Structure 1
């Protein structure tokens, strides 16, 4: 080992440096040549000789590092943090490691190997925790929700298994045992594949056990995707006369009249609505940027009715469950499944002569009826806040606000006629 210039550190000196950083001051030292006090820039690195180095970050984290060469290459070994390891203990540990280096050892490499062996003993549950902290938090909110559901299933089925022992057979058995729908199983496989991609990236496993698994082979051919339906005028009449809780009936009307997504309506707050200018400003949406939605007079009337029913909540559709309010600090929007559950309850209790539909089908109903009423296709797409396809979608930044206002006005007039006819009859 080559000789190094020694700048022997002192315990009192280290304490002063730590105290200076804690007090937002600059650490100082005496210049050995001029004996004058000089300021030490952060991050700080000062050697104690023979490769032992004291480092101090701007945040106040102090660490002992042993720097050496092995096979002609520079190496660094972290001995530990100060003050957990004092100066004398750091020197002792550095001497022990240097003795190993002189015998031809490489302690930094050995430490990495030990860490790798520890990782190989990770359970799938530990891998999931690490994935949530490092990867999942950086994904979109909808992806976090869908992946989160799948990770709960993975943890319940194979959470106790060692990551290094998982095989493709285990993945297939898990998918079959969960017994979810084809679509949910597809999400489960995708999420599991990303989870074990994370494991491969950490070098816990050499290859991803999900690679090569085909859902068609496991569960059979994907079922035919259910087509969105357009409720007929007769079905709309029956729906408008539905015996539902008033908040739910108004929510259905608003979904039809504005063509928004159910999550956009469910999370809407009163401060997003400008009744004077007849505009609803949706801050975010599935397609990215928010959108300003024109409000027609009947829609404003339905919203004002909701305002009376919601009392002092900031949400237009506040939760009615006390447990949910407590969970979210006293005020919260309705559960994501509330509107769909209300529709399903209506079917169960009254068996209406209406084809079974979901809240999302109300968007396709609005779009289809607007097309039937003569609204151009691109305007109906914009009413649904869909991105225009191809080059047009890239360069056309016009919001079509007035065109959308005309289209929604025409559509809501049609819905109002349906509602008024029920009153007259």
Structure 2
């Protein structure tokens, strides 16, 4: 006779296991402890086998019968239900192992060894905040262009169009990695060219007029905030490195006797070591600061912990407190200031300037210059630049006609 829910609920455990048959090989096994398991008895390849179909009451009678019928259809087609279940489980685990998030984190771990830490952190944060919540659990091979567009469009819709483009670019790199490692067959990001609103190009604010530069220098000299921040402000125009390179400066990289700052490749955007000749003015600032922070790791340590570098907003916030708004001057602005005036006013060779900016400068044969290329000429340029800034700072209201020696 077939089972009923009433009969199943009323059955009492005995000293030995009981088997209550329903038909078609389905039965309920009741243990002495009172547990109830659905089993399916069947034959495959001439052997008697059993398949677990769940426990009662989590799996009810109707569900158990449905699972039995599915298994019997597989048998009729020549498939062992137990082997089919193993294959499904393996496929599910494989899909989980190849989810977009798993592949993206694997890709990021490999790329991060080549990146500056700040860039690596920003890239992962972009994925964690804007991509993983929507697509992270999806098998990467199944993600469609429509789904990817939906994720990056959410970023653009909140006004962060540039971030949306960067997220799409990052996803494109993840998909290319998935294809290369056999986890996907195509890159849906390539189908989305032109799908996002264009990015409005905005130049980083910079003061390049010599008279206004003089006013900025005088304001920095009069800055009354943290001494460490003041030193960072005063050093920034003298070395015109990127803001992240400045705040991560370590005393181990600086040789005051040789007047050199040697920045390792892992801290540089182009992943090449960089040498910054230090003017006498830069050496004086660093010598004074060394008395305060020289026992620690960082030249410009955080106010909260000497084990961390200063905040990436420290110099920017100081500029704002001095009255220079975001449309007038930025942390990157010192680089544009130096590039413009060294070229247009002091007339130094453009390749000297570009090399000191740590841009990708090539020789006539297309090879990248090493970090010591044109070092004597760059030393002279950096000293001339520092002297020119001193002259601008000292001569309020006067544009300096500066002549450099050949």
Give the structure-2-normalised TM-score.
0.64
1:200-240 deviations in whole A, cap 9, x for unaligned?
Answer: 566666544433012x3332x33134266452222222222
* 1:129 aligned residue: 102
Q: Which residue does the alignment assign to 1:272?
A: 253
Residues 151-171 of structure 1, C-alpha deviations (whole Å, 9 max, x = no match) = 112123444556566432222
Call closer, same or farther: CA 1:362–1:233 in 2, change over 3 Å. same
- 1:288 paired with 2:263, answer no
Structure 2 distance, partners of 1:266, 1:359, is: 11
Q: Which runs of 5+ in 1 are unaligned?
A: 1-102
Shift of the alpha carbon at 1:391? 3.4
Tell me if the contact between 2:362 and 2:368 (Cα under 8 Å) persists in the aligned partners: no
Please name the residue that 1:173 is paired with. Answer: 150
Correspondence for 1:399: 373
Q: Higher Cα Rg: structure 1 or 2? A: 2
Is 1:259 aligned with 2:240? Answer: yes
Give the Cα separation in 2 of the matches to 1:141 and 1:229: 26
Q: Could you tell me which of 334, 354, 368 is aligned with 2:340?
A: 368
Q: Call closer, same or farther: CA 1:158–1:276 in 2, change over 3 Å.
A: same
- The alpha-carbon deviation at position 112 of structure 1 amounts to 7.4
Shift of 1:119: 2.8
Q: C-alpha displacement at 1:198, in angstroms?
A: 4.8
Q: In the superposition, relative to structure 1, how do residues 167 and 320 fare at CA in structure 2: closer, same or farther (>3 Å)?
A: same
Contact kept? 2:261, 2:278, Cα under 8 Å: yes
| In 2, Cα distance between equivalents of 1:161 and 1:104 | 29
Mapped partners of 1:265, 1:363: distance in 2? 12
| Structure 1: distance between partners of 2:240 and 2:159 | 30
Task: Please tell me whether the aligned partners of residues 240 and 249 of structure 1 are also in contact (alpha carbons under 8 angstroms).
Answer: no
User: Which residue number in structure 2 is paired with residue 78 of structure 1?
Assistant: none
Q: 1:237 to 1:141 in 2, by over 3 A?
A: same
Q: Which residue of 1 aligns with 2:318?
A: 342
Asked if structure 2 preserves the Cα contact closer than 8 Å seen for 1:251 and 1:339, the reply is yes
Give the equivalent residue in structure 1 for 2:385. 411
8 Å CA contact retained: 1:310, 1:318: yes
Equivalent residue for 1:388, pick from 361, 380, 394: 361
Find the counterpart in structure 2 of residue 211 from structure 1: 190
Q: Deviations over 1:10-32 (max 9, x none)?
A: xxxxxxxxxxxxxxxxxxxxxxx
CA contact (8 A) 1:122 1:163 kept: no
TM-score, normalised to structure 1, is: 0.62
Name the count of aligned residue pairs.
303
Q: Say what the alpha-carbon RMSD is for the aligned residues.
A: 3.5
Whether the aligned pair in 1 keeps the contact of 2:247 and 2:309 (CA below 8 Å) is yes
Query: How big is each residue's C-alpha offset from its partner over 1:117-139, in whole Å with a ceiling of 9 and x where there is no partner?
Result: 43335695xx313432x321111
Tell me the distance in 2 between the aligned counterparts of 1:408 and 1:351.
Answer: 25
Q: Does 1:307 align with 2:286?
A: no
Structure 2: runs of 5+ lacking an equivalent: 1-77, 397-406
Deviation at 1:271, TM superposition (A): 2.0
Q: Displacement of 1:419 after TM fit?
A: 3.3
Q: Quick check: 1:120–1:205 contact (8 Å CA) kept in 2?
A: no
Tell me if structure 2 keeps the 8 A contact 1:137–1:144. Answer: no
Residues in 2 aligned to 1:278 and 1:150: alpha-carbon distance in whole angstroms = 39
Match 1:116 to one of 84, 91, 94: 91
Matches within 5 A, 1:129-208: 129-132=102-105, 134-139=106-111, 140-142=114-116, 144-152=120-128, 153-159=130-136, 166-178=143-155, 179=158, 181-199=160-178, 207-208=186-187
- Residue 286 of structure 1: how far off its partner (Å): 2.2
How far apart are residue 317 of structure 1 and its match? Answer: 0.3
Cα 1:390–1:297 change in 2 (3 A) is closer
| Deviation (angstroms), 1:175 | 1.6
C-alpha offsets along residues 216-274 of structure 1, whole Å, 9 cap, x if unaligned? 3332x331342664522222222223345243232122121112222222111112222
